[in-house]
Amino acid sequence: MTSSSTNPPDLEPIGAQPGHYYSYGIPYLPIDHYPGKLIAVEGTDGVGRSTQIRLLREWLEVQGYGVIETGWTRSELMQPTIELAKASNTLNKLTFVLLYATDFADRLEKEIIPALKAGFIVLSDRYIFTALARAGVRGVDRQWIRNLYGFGIAPHLVFYLRIDEKTLIRRVLQSRGMDYWESGMDLKLGDDIYESFRAYQRALLKEYAALADEYGFRVLDARRKVDVIQDELRRQIAGFLNEPDNAPVASRPE
């Protein structure tokens, strides 16, 4: 390890350029100069990520951009294992983190990288920050998990749909209720599932707030109406795509 780094000793490598690996990357998959763009939409449950992504996709496709969506825990390889492990509560915090990282690696290599190579706009419903936030709440070593995700690609844009604790709790209860993991019951914060749920969601929001600073998220107030948020997203994405050299498809009609 070199000591010449100018980064602060903790929470190191992350300041990668958009479209490049955060750290050591995947040596056998060089990704320099790929024309695609990676846009991540982050946020806790109940902020309307998937609605916003669906609307963004339509808007982008009308303009002639190729769009691919990807999510968190959706890889063919890992989905059954993660579901099984969650159902049987056999996950400890390390295996929890590693299973999700494996899932991400699978999607990165098989969906995201090929799409970036082919010039698509990749809309990612959650990204590595979800893993960093959850691991942060669980007390996983911060530098270790950042090294682990050093094979991730820094997105061109990260939007964080932010809500307050009270709104978050109501929305989660309304939509699908509490479950074991989303209530952080593995953290043994207490026997009362509601109190545990609340403490967990509060801690999660704190982690996201710290990540927003660390990675320079574009923060949007997710308590506003769907179309207001969508307009804001479109304005910022259009601004990005209209910058010189940023249009992902070289052969687009003028």
Partner 1 sequence: MEGIDGSGKTTQLGLLAKWLSAAGHPVFQTEWNSSALVKAATKAGKKKNALTPMTFSLLHATDFADRLLYNIIPPLKAGMIVLADRYTYTAFARDAARGVDRRWVRELYSFAVKPDLAVYFKTPIDVSIDRLLARRVKLKFYEAGLDMGWSTNAIESFRIFQGKVLDEYDRCVEEYGLSVINASGSITEQQRVCRRLVSQHLEIEANDEQLDESA
Which residues contact partner 1 (rule: CB under 8 A)?
23-28, 76-78, 80-81, 84-85, 90, 92, 94-95, 98-99, 101-102, 105-106, 108-110, 141, 144, 147-148, 150-151
**Min dist. Cβ of residue 7 to partner 1 (A):** 15
Q: Of 88 and 242, which CB lies nearer to partner 1 in the complex structure?
A: 88
**Min dist. Cβ of residue 54 to partner 1 (A):** 29
Q: Return the closest-CA partner of residue 22 out of 111, 162, 127, 122.
A: 127
Q: Of 64 and 80, which CB lies nearer to partner 1 in the complex structure?
A: 80
Q: What is the dihedral of CA 124, 250, 30, 60, to 10 degrees?
A: 0
Is residue 82 within 8 A of residue 103, CB to CB? The reply is yes
**Min dist. Cβ of residue 178 to partner 1 (A):** 25
| CA–CA gap between residue 159 and residue 166 (Å, rounded) | 21
| CA–CA gap between residue 229 and residue 21 (Å, rounded) | 29
Q: Of 165 and 186, which CB lies nearer to partner 1 in the complex structure?
A: 186
**Min dist. Cβ of residue 61 to partner 1 (A):** 29
Q: Of 2 and 242, which CB lies nearer to partner 1 in the complex structure?
A: 2
Is residue 116 within 8 A of residue 38, CB to CB? The reply is yes
Tokens at 247, concatenated: 């249009």
Q: Where are the alpha helices (DSSP H) in 76-112?
A: 79-87, 93-107
Q: Of 24 and 180, which CB lies nearer to partner 1 in the complex structure?
A: 24
| CA–CA gap between residue 233 and residue 42 (Å, rounded) | 13
Q: Of 60 and 153, which CB lies nearer to partner 1 in the complex structure?
A: 153
Q: Say which amino acid occupies 54.
A: R
Alpha carbons within 13 angstroms on the beta-carbon side of residue 125 total 21
**Min dist. Cβ of residue 65 to partner 1 (A):** 28
| Structure letter (DSSP) for residue 63 | T
**Min dist. Cβ of residue 139 to partner 1 (A):** 13
**Min dist. Cβ of residue 140 to partner 1 (A):** 9
- Helix then strand then coil, in percent of the chain rounded to 5, is 50, 10, 40
Is residue 128 within 8 A of residue 214, CB to CB? The reply is no
Q: Of 146 and 162, which CB lies nearer to partner 1 in the complex structure?
A: 146
* Cβ-based neighbour number of residue 246 at 10 Å: 12
